[in-house]
Amino acid sequence: MKKAKIYKPSKTAMQSGRSNSSFWLLEFETENNGVNPLTGWETSSDTMSEVKLKFSSKDLAVEYAKKNNILYKLIEPQKRKIIKKSYADNFLK
């Protein structure tokens, strides 16, 4: 059986926008890992690990996984912590 994880990607550290975090991804896990004797890199003959499916909602991704008999692990996104700061706080300490 195929295994996958369903998650909502976080924003990149290089940009302040959150445009890539509006969709959910279903990403297959790598099976049959091995080490290439020539290069020493980790390798796999499983090409499903390269597949990433985008969904507009979590429910659609879960429904797809159930319909296609895919064992999935659902990873919920963490809440953003917004700390309100004032410019004057820099000088009051």
| Domain membership flag for residue 85 | yes
Residue 59 structural domain:
3-12+20-31+47-90
| Domain membership flag for residue 80 | yes
> How many alpha carbons lie under 13 Å from residue 79 in its C-beta half-sphere?
3
pLDDT value for 90: 83
Give the tens place of pLDDT for each residue, 7-65: 998 877 777 776 767 899 999 988 777 888 889 888 877 788 888 999 999 999 999 99
User: Which tokens sit at 57?
Assistant: 């909602």
Report the CATH number that the domain containing residue 56 is assigned in CATH. Answer: 3.30.160.190
| Domain membership flag for residue 42 | no
Give the tens place of pLDDT for each residue, 61-75: 999 999 999 999 999
| Domain membership flag for residue 40 | no
Rounded Cα gap, residues 22 and 14, in angstroms: 17
CA distances 28 to 20, 40, 58, Å, are 19, 23, 16
Rounded Cα gap, residues 17 and 13, in angstroms: 10
DSSP bridge pairs for 24:
55
> How many alpha carbons lie under 13 Å from residue 75 in its C-beta half-sphere?
12
**What's the distance, CA 87 to chain centroid?**
35
| Domain membership flag for residue 37 | no
Q: How many domains does the chain have?
A: 1
